[in-house]
């Protein structure tokens, strides 16, 4: 069990409210042994500014400090995200539950597309150089033989690069919108190259259409998502 106590609340004449907190736990399983922090509401001409800061001591000596190199940034990110959720709840009326559902739902779909593009580029195109990949490209273009195999490898590299774009590019809505256009085109291209492919198990028609539907869902879920980046997390910024 943990414990926490407020060390007092201070109200100023200008409407500023400040509260400090001392917290901790005796449970050995917890990486945090003890910590302190504060929150403060500051009334401004533009609205209300919320400030908070906290620090804590870790257990387990050197191991605890090493774990804290990962744990502390995650805690800071999660705190900043929760404050943006609170801000949107107050300003726009969207309850936290739906915000978190959209945020984590969009994140899961994003991770799926990173995996799909990475896998499709690396395994069938670069590693296996699958004959069906080569045959479909040859049917759609004038490229054949060794040149077709090299072209499939180039396409595989482009797939992997697009997976990296999914990983690094922040505006996911644009990527979802791009895929909404691309997946039907890829499906039509596969059918033109080999109409019989539609009869295969786990064929490009069902696969691409599934990804197309997920792209549509992701597009609408990712609109105006809460973000930790809206909070100023270092003193002296803004």
Question: Given pLDDT bands bounded at 50, 70 and 90, which one contains residue 50?
Answer: confident
Range with lowest mean pLDDT among 51-60, 91-100, 182-191: 51-60
Residues 111-127, mean pLDDT to the nearest whole number: 97
Residues 57 and 36: beta-carbon distance below 8 Å = no
Q: By the 8 A CB rule, do 91 and 82 touch?
A: no
Supply the pLDDT for residue 73: 92
| Distance (Å, whole) CA 50 – CA 35 | 20
Strand partners, 5: 22
Position 41 pLDDT exceeds 60: yes
What is the percent of the chain with per-residue pLDDT over 90, rounded to a whole number?
Answer: 60
At residue 201's C-alpha, the angle toward residues 195 and 203, to 5°, is 50
For residue 226, give the nearest of 80, 52, 113 by alpha carbon: 80
Q: Residues 8-38: pLDDT tens digits?
A: 677 777 778 888 889 898 888 888 899 999 8
Where are the chain's structural domains? 2-95, 98-221
Q: Does the pLDDT value for residue 6 go beyond 90?
A: no
Does position 222 have pLDDT exceeding 80, yes or no? yes
Whether residue 89 is predicted with pLDDT greater than 90 in this model: the reply is yes
The predicted pLDDT at position 201 comes to 87
Q: Is the pLDDT of residue 236 over 70?
A: no
Backbone torsions φ then ψ of 159, nearest 5 degrees: -60, -45
> What's the pTM?
0.83
Q: What is the model's pLDDT at position 27? A: 86
The string of pLDDT tens digits covering residues 167-219 is: 999 999 999 999 999 999 999 999 999 999 999 888 999 999 999 999 999 99
Order of strands, sheet of 17-25, starting from the edge strand that comes earlier in the sequence: 2-11, 17-25, 32-44, 47-58
């Amino acid at each position: 069990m943990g414990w926490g106590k407020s060390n007092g609340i201070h109200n100023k004449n200008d409407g500023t409210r400040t509260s400090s907190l001392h917290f901790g736990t005796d449970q050995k399983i917890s990486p945090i042994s003890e910590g302190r922090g504060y929150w403060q509401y500051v009334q401004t001409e533009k609205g209300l500014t919320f400030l908070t800061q906290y620090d804590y001591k870790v257990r387990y000596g050197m191991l605890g400090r090493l774990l804290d190199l990962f744990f502390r940034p995650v805690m800071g990110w999660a705190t900043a995200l929760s404050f943006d959720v609170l801000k949107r709840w107050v300003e726009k009326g969207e309850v936290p539950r739906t915000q978190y559902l959209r945020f984590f739902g969009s994140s899961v779909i994003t991770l799926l597309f990173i995996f799909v593009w990475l896998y499709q580029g690396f395994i069938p195109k670069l590693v296996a150089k699958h004959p069906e990949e080569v045959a479909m490209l040859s049917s759609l273009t004038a490229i054949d033989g060794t040149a077709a195999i090299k072209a499939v490898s180039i396409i595989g590299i482009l797939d992997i690069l697009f997976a990296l774009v999914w990983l690094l590019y922040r505006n996911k809505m644009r990527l979802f919108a791009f895929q909404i256009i691309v997946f039907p085109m890829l499906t039509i291209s596969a059918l033109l190259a080999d109409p019989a492919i539609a009869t295969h198990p786990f064929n490009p028609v069902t696969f691409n259409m599934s990804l197309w539907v997920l792209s549509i869902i992701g597009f609408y879920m990712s609109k105006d998502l809460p973000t930790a980046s809206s909070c100023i997390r270092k003193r002296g910024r803004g």
